[in-house]
Every structure is written in C-alpha cells, then in structure tokens.
C-alpha cells in the first residue's frame, strides 16, 4: 500500500509540475529573446518578443495540447488589433516533421532588416511554411511588403504582393508591385539567412542618383539591389 501511495504521489507531482510549468521554460531557446515572460505553458504572455532580429512585440502564448500526441510542440501566438499595433494570430511548432509556422496573420516591421531599401512592414495573411532537414518542404499564403516614400520618384504606396512558395531548399516570397515594374524576391534558408533581390524595370534616368545612393546598380533590365543578412 505504501508503495502504491508513493507511486501515486510521484505521478501526481509529475502531472502538477507539467500543468504548472512556466512558459519561460519553452520560450528560452536560441534565437528567441523577450523582456518578460509570464504565466504557464497553457496560458501565458510574452513582452517584447523578438525572433532573432525580427521584433514581434507583446503576445499571448499557450501550448496546444492535441499536437503533443503527434510528437509536436505547437505554441499559439495571439494579439488583438489596436490603433498602432496590428494583431497577430498563428502558431509555431517543432516536431518529428520539422519546424513550421502555421496559418499566420501578422504584420512585422522590417525597415532595419532591409535598409537601405525603403521597406516598412511585411504583412502575412494565412501564411504557412515548414522546414525539415534544412529544406523548405511546403509554403503558402499571401505576403505583402509595404514601403515608405523616402526614395524620390519611387511610388509604391500599394506595396508589393505575392504568394509564398518553396524554391529548392529555400522559402521564396516573390513580390511584385501593382504595375509589375518593380519586383522583390525574398529568399529565406533554414538557418535564418536571407537574400532580398529588388529589380526596378525600365529606364529611370531621373532617379539614377537617388537609386545609386540607395545601393541600386544599373543592369540591362533596369536597376537591381541585393541585400543579404540573417535573423
């Protein structure tokens, strides 16, 4: 009887430890930083979340229960819309099938990542992507890049739009302006390295000096800018 009681007590303690596990225990991984993490894994909040160099901001976070039975840890991230901070809804997961972002709708500031190209925000709508064994396995969803008007003569108020897909081992976001005269291909590798290639078609003689100062180079099809970095 004493042995049964001991086993039952240990089992109860183990269950209680899992139920009350702090959220910070699963958030504290390489590449993820936060100013403050509160709550437990089933109901918590993260302040000033950053994924590498990408600022995410304040979010609510909770571990989803059912994916655990499939050998996958999936964390739901959410935040309501406010006048100056767009909402977030989607999940990130890691398991036997790789690492994935699932059905993400969110807006992130990318000005610092893509400078000197005058990008402001990247918007995801219904975006999903999965990497496994260092390769992009599947990707879909709409992506929009919004830009500022800091570059004279470059009017892209409607931004650049495209559908995510895999291209070889990389995730590709092929974005095109409404006029189709401007294009930006964003390629992301599994290790967090990215390349942004911006092509501005047609002769832009009146903008040549401004484009040159922004890092563009003259090519046969117009002007090209290549940016490389990592999260």
Q: What is the pLDDT of residue 117?
A: 81
Does residue 148 or residue 62 have the better pLDDT? 62
Number of H helices, E strands in the chain: 4, 16
| Pick from 181, 182, 183: nearest CA to 172 | 183
Query: Domain limits of the chain?
Result: 19-94, 97-230
| Residue pair 120/149 in contact by the 8 Å Cβ criterion | no
Q: What is the pLDDT of residues 69-104, one digit of tens each?
A: 888 889 999 998 877 788 999 999 988 888 999 999
Q: Which helix (DSSP H) or strand (DSSP E) does residue 212 occupy?
A: helix 208-213
* Tens digits of residue pLDDT in 128-187: 999 999 999 999 999 999 988 766 556 677 889 999 999 999 999 999 988 888 899 999
- pTM attached to this predicted model: 0.85
Q: Is 194 helix (H, G, I), strand (E, B) or coil?
A: strand
Q: What is the pLDDT of residue 223?
A: 85
Cα separation, 61 vs 59, in Å, equals: 6
Structure confidence by residue, pLDDT tens digits, 32-43: 888 898 888 888
What is the average per-residue pLDDT within 107-112?
A: 90
Check the CA dihedral 151-153-159-163 and report its sign. negative
Q: Whole-angstrom Cα distance, residue 65 to residue 63?
A: 6
């Amino acid at each position: 009887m004493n042995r049964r009681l001991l086993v039952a007590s240990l089992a109860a303690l183990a269950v209680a430890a899992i139920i009350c596990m702090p959220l910070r225990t699963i958030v504290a991984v390489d590449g993820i930083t936060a100013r403050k993490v509160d709550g437990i894994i089933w109901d918590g909040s993260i302040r000033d979340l950053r994924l590498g160099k990408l600022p995410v901001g304040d979010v609510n976070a909770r571990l989803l229960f059912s994916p655990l039975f499939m050998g996958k840890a999936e964390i739901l991230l959410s935040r309501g819309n406010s006048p100056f901070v767009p909402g977030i809804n989607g999940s990130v997961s890691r398991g036997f099938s790789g690492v994935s972002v699932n059905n993400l709708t969110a807006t992130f500031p990318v000005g610092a990542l893509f400078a000197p190209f005058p990008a402001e925000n990247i918007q995801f709508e219904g975006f999903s992507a999965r990497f496994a064994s260092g390769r992009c396995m599947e990707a879909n969803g709409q992506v929009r890049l919004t830009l500022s008007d800091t570059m004279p003569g470059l009017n892209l108020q409607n931004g650049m739009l495209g559908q995510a897909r895999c291209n070889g081992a990389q995730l590709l976001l092929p974005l095109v302006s409404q006029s189709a005269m401007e294009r930006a291909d964003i390629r992301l590798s599994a290790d967090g390295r990215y390349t942004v290639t911006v092509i501005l078609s047609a002769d832009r003689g009146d903008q040549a000096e401004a484009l040159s100062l922004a890092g563009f180079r003259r090519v046969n099809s117009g002007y090209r800018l290549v940016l490389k970095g990592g999260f």
